């Protein structure tokens, strides 16, 4: 079996796995109970945006050449050039979904709704757990990946319980912390630099990777003494 054919099979299997995971997550959201004070916004998210946008990390961005040679790159955005420092493959969970009529829906459109309804932290937690579980499955299957990267919202990053949440996910899934990278935006860090530094130090104690996404787009480079 040629390498290209094996790569195509892997890509097809990945698409199937992620599609099933999205259907499971859709059912999870629809079974939630919401109080009347937030019904309108929550149902706007669930009925109007969930199936559109919340593949919730189920579209993978991979740096491996196998995904690029299959032409998936046309649908997936390239990450920053400095993130290509590792030659091995790395997977990224992103909140992006291609709507059949509207095309690719930007996170800028649906993330604010998730934040206003209070669902963003819960979605983040679900994505992180799914990413770690999938990474473990890949490792068992012999798929070589350097790490899996998961975007963390500013709301979840600001919560002190994030440390415990990450620790529980790593413990429950059995994933080596070195294979998990958490990405936060520069704006999330600069909202409260002191709290952000404390949070980052605690997360580093767990052994996970940390990365600042969109660095240099909104603030001057911070100096850490």
C-alpha–C-alpha distance, residues 200 and 71, integer Å = 36
pLDDT score at 166: 93
The alpha-helical segments, DSSP class H, found in the chain are: 3-30, 39-43, 51-53, 65-69, 107-117, 120-141, 154-157, 162-173, 186-191, 193-206
Reported as half-sphere exposure (CB side, CA atoms, 13 A), residue 191 has a value of 14
- Both tokens of 102, joined, read 């509207």
Q: Which of 32-41, 100-109, 211-220 has the highest mean pLDDT?
A: 100-109
pTM over the 0.75 mark? no
Domain ranges of the chain: 3-69+81-213
- Identify the architecture of domain 3-69+81-213 in CATH: Alpha-Beta Barrel (3.20)
10-29 pLDDT tens trace: 554 454 444 444 444 444 44
C-alpha–C-alpha distance, residues 174 and 107, integer Å = 30
């Amino acid at each position: 079996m040629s390498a290209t054919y094996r790569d195509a099979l892997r890509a097809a299997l990945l698409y199937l796995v992620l599609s099933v995971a999205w259907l499971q997550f859709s059912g999870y959201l629809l079974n939630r109970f919401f109080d009347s004070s937030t019904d309108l916004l929550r149902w706007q998210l669930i009925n109007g945006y969930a199936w559109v946008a919340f593949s919730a990390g189920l579209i993978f961005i991979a740096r491996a050449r196998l995904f690029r040679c299959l032409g998936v790159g046309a649908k997936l955005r390239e990450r920053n050039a400095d993130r290509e420092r590792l030659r091995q493959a790395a997977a990224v969970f992103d909140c992006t979904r291609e709507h059949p009529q509207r095309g690719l829906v930007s996170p800028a459109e649906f993330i604010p709704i998730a934040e206003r309804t209070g669902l963003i932290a819960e979605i983040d937690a679900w994505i992180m757990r799914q990413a770690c579980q999938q990474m473990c499955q890949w490792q068992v299957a012999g798929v070589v990946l350097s790490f899996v990267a998961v975007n963390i919202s500013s709301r979840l990053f600001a919560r002190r319980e994030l440390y415990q949440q990450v620790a529980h996910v790593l413990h429950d899934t059995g994933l080596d912390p070195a294979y998990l990278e958490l990405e936060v935006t520069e704006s999330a860090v600069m909202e409260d630099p002191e709290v952000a530094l404390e949070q980052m130090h605690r997360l580093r104690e767990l052994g996970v990777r940390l990365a600042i996404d969109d660095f240099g787009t909104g603030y001057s480079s911070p100096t850490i003494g």
